Structure 1
C-alpha cells in the first residue's frame, strides 16, 4: 500500500506581512499628514509675507516655522516607529539668556533647520500624494482581483458590453473575466510588498534628507569638538603629571646631589676619606637621576618608537614589563605618528596598571590591524574590579583615545580576569 504525500505551500513569513502592512500604513498616512501640513504652512507663509510691512508679518512667519517644526517632529516619529528607520532629531536654535521677547519670538526664523522644515511641509505633499495614490491603486487591484468572482454578478450587462478578457482575446463570459481578474490580483499581490516599499522609501528619503540629515552633521561637529576638548584635557593632564614626576623625582635628587657635593667640598680638607664616600654617593645619585630622566623621556616621546618603529617598541615594552607578558604583535609599517604614539601609550598604560593594581601573575598583549583601525587587547589574570573612575590611569587613557576618535573597552569583573581593549582608527 502506497501513500501520497501532500506538500503544503510554504507559509509567508509573518515579518514580511508586518513589513508590508507598516509600509502601506506609512504610505497611506503620508498624504493625510502632508495635506494639512501643506495647507497650514502655505497659508501662514502667505499671510506672513503679506504682512511683512508690519511687525505682525514676522510673527506670523515665526508661527509658520513652529507649525512646520511640529509636523517635522511627527514625521520623524513616523519614520522611526513605522519604518524602523534612523531619524535623528537635529538640535534647534534656542534663545540665549538675556534675549528680549522679540528676539526670542524670532529665534525660529534664525534657525536653518526651521526653513528645512518649511520646505518639507511644502514639497512633502508631492511624494505623499504619489505614495498614497500608488498604494491605494495596488491594494485595490489585490482586493478587486481576489473578490471579482463574487461581486461581478451585480455588474450591469448590456448587449454590446465586452469585458477585459474579451478585449484581450482571452475569451468571453463570467469565467474568463474572473480568471483574468484573479491573475491580475495575484500579480498585484506578489508585487505589493516591493511597490509599497518603494513609495514608502521615496517619501521617507525626502523626509530624512530635509529633516534628519542636518542632525548627522551636528553630531559630527560635536564629535570633533569633543575630540578636540579631550585632546586638550589629555595634554594638560600629561603636562601636570610630567611636572609632578619631575618635582617628586629628578628635582629632589638634584637638590640632594647639590647638598652632597657641598658637603664633600667641606670634607675635602678635614676628612678626605669621608669626602670620597660622599662623592661616591653623589655619583650614584647622578646615575639614578639619569635613569629616571630616561624613564620620563619615554613618557614624552619613546626613543625606540621614533627610531625603530611601533613593532619593536611594543616588543620592548612587553619584555620590560614587571609581569610576564605573552605578546602577539603584528602591526603594519607606515602608520601615522599619532596612531603609533597612541597605540604605544595604550599598551604602556595598560601594562602599568597590571603591574601596580591587578595582582596578576601573567598578562597577554595582542596588537593587530583590523580593517581601518589598530586593535589593542591587554588581558591579565588578576583580581579584577578595575574601572574608569576619574583620577585613575584608565580615565586618562580614555581621554587620549577620544582625542584620536578611538574607543576604549573594559571588562573587569570582581575576581578577574581584566580585559582592556582599544580601537585606534588609522585613517587609511
Structure 2
C-alpha cells in the first residue's frame, strides 16, 4: 500500500554537557518529576478517556472520527510535554518519533484520518491512559517520604499543640519504646532519619518506573525509526559509491588502456606494412608496441588495485597499507596497529580511505611529508592521515573526499577533516568493526 503522507523529522536533543548532577540536585529533580507526574497524568487520563469513549460511541457518525482525531491530538500534546520533562528534568534522551502527516493538498477528511492511521498516535493515547497508574504511585511514594522527613524533623515542636487525653497512647508506647513526649519525639525523629536516608533510592525507583514506561511508549519507536533511516542511508550511500566507482573505472579504462590498445593496434598495423619495405623501421615500431604493451599492463594492474587490490586479498590489510605508504609520491611515516580478524568490508573501506587520502596528499597538498596512523579503537578502526601541506582541503562535491565520505557512510563510518589555510591537514576516519576483531 502506498503511503499518502510524509513524516515529521525525528528530533534528538543535544547531549547534556553540564555533567552528572549531585545527589541532592538529583533527588530534588526526581521528586519534582514524580510529584508533577500525577498533576499531568490525571488530566491526560480524564481527557483521553472521555474523548476516546465519546469518539467510539459516535463512530457510526462522521463526528466520531472528529472526536477521535481530537483525542489523538490531545494525547500528542501530553506526550510531547512528557518527552520535554524527560529531557529537562531527568536528562534522559527522549527523541520524538516521526509522526505521519498529511500531504499538501489533502482534503479535510484525509487530513483528519491521517493521525488515526499513525501507530505512534495510539501509543500516545495508551500513555495518557496508563500513565496515571505509575504517576499516582510516584506521587504517593514521594509525598509519603517527604512527609515522613518533615514530620520527623518538626514533631518535637508541634507535638505540644496536640490534645493529650488520659487514655491516649502514642506510637512509641504501642511498640514498647516508652511513653511521653520525649519518646514520641525520638521515634518520629528516627523515622524521619530513615526516610531521609532512603529518600534518594525511593524517589529514584518510582521515577525510573514512570519514566521507563513513558520512554517505552513515547520514544522507543524513534530509535527504531532512526536505525531504519541509518540503514537506508547506508544502503543509498553504498549504491552511490558503487555507481561512482563504476563510472570512474569506465572513464579510466576509456582514457587509459583503451587508448593505448588503439595505438597498439595502429603500431602493429604500421609494422606489418613496414616489415618488407623497411625491416629496421618495422623493428623499431615493434619495440615501441612492446613498450605500449608493458605500460598498458601496468595501467591495468593499477586499475585492478582500485577494484580489488590483490595485495589486500592475499596478504591482508597491514601489508597492503605498508605498500601504499611505500608507493606514495610523498614520504609517509606509517604507524600501523592493525588487528587481525577484521571483516572484509572493513579492510576494503580502510584501504580505500588511506589510498584516497595519500593520493590527495600527493596531488593537492604540496606537502613534503605525511604521517599515517591506523589503530584499533575498540569497536572501530581509527585512520588518521596528516600532512604538512598548504591546507584548504574540503569535502565539496566533485572532489575525492566527497566520494570517500560516501564510501564510509556505506559501512556506517564517519569522516573528519581539519584543514586550515596554511596547514596542516588532518584527515581522520572511524570505520566500525562490529566487534568482530580477533588478535
The interval holding the TM-score normalised by the smaller chain is over 0.9
Take 2:197 and 2:365, find their aligned partners in 1: how far apart are those partners? 62
Which among 47, 54, 64 is matched to residue 40 of structure 1? Answer: 47
What's the CA shift string for 1:293-324, capped at 9, x where partnerless? 11011000111111222222111111111111
Take 2:212 and 2:427, find their aligned partners in 1: how far apart are those partners? 40
Q: After TM superposition, which residue ranges in structure 1, 4 or more long, deviate above 6 angstroms?
A: none
Take 2:150 and 2:394, find their aligned partners in 1: how far apart are those partners? 61
Counterpart in 1 of 2:8? Answer: none
Q: 1:222 Cα deviation (Å)?
A: 0.2
1:268 aligns with 2:278: no
Q: State how many pairs are aligned.
A: 416
Counterpart in 2 of 1:319? Answer: 326
Counterpart in 2 of 1:102? Answer: 109
Counterpart in 1 of 2:87? Answer: 80
Q: 1:89 Cα deviation (Å)?
A: 0.3
What's the CA shift string for 1:104-147, capped at 9, x where partnerless? 11001110001100110000000000011111111111111111
1:365 is paired with a residue whose SS is strand
Greater displacement, 307-316 / 206-215: 307-316
1:106 is paired with a residue whose SS is helix
CA RMSD, Structure 1 to Structure 2 (Å): 1.6
1:334 aligns with 2:334: no
TM norm structure 1: 0.93
Take 1:17 and 1:372, find their aligned partners in 2: how far apart are those partners? 36
Counterpart in 2 of 1:177? Answer: 184
2:392 is paired with a residue whose SS is coil
What's the CA shift string for 1:11-42, capped at 9, x where partnerless? xx983322222111111110110000000000
Take 1:42 and 1:14, find their aligned partners in 2: how far apart are those partners? 37
1:187 aligns with 2:207: no
Counterpart in 2 of 1:297? Answer: 304
What's the CA shift string for 1:338-370, capped at 9, x where partnerless? 111111111111111111112222222222322
1:155 aligns with 2:151: no
Could you say if the C-alpha distance between residues 417 and 61 of structure 1 is closer, same or farther in structure 2, counting changes exceeding 3 Å? Answer: same
Counterpart in 2 of 1:3? Answer: none
Greater displacement, 340-349 / 244-253: 244-253
Take 1:14 and 1:290, find their aligned partners in 2: how far apart are those partners? 66
1:94 is paired with a residue whose SS is strand
Which among 17, 33, 45 is matched to residue 24 of structure 2? Answer: 17
TM norm structure 2: 0.91
1:222 aligns with 2:229: yes
Greater displacement, 13-22 / 383-392: 13-22
Which among 415, 419, 433 is matched to residue 412 of structure 1? Answer: 419
1:145 aligns with 2:155: no
Q: Give unmatched runs, 5+ long, in structure 1.
A: 1-12
Counterpart in 2 of 1:131? Answer: 138
Take 1:192 and 1:14, find their aligned partners in 2: how far apart are those partners? 16
Take 1:242 and 1:98, find their aligned partners in 2: how far apart are those partners? 45
Take 1:334 and 1:147, find their aligned partners in 2: how far apart are those partners? 67
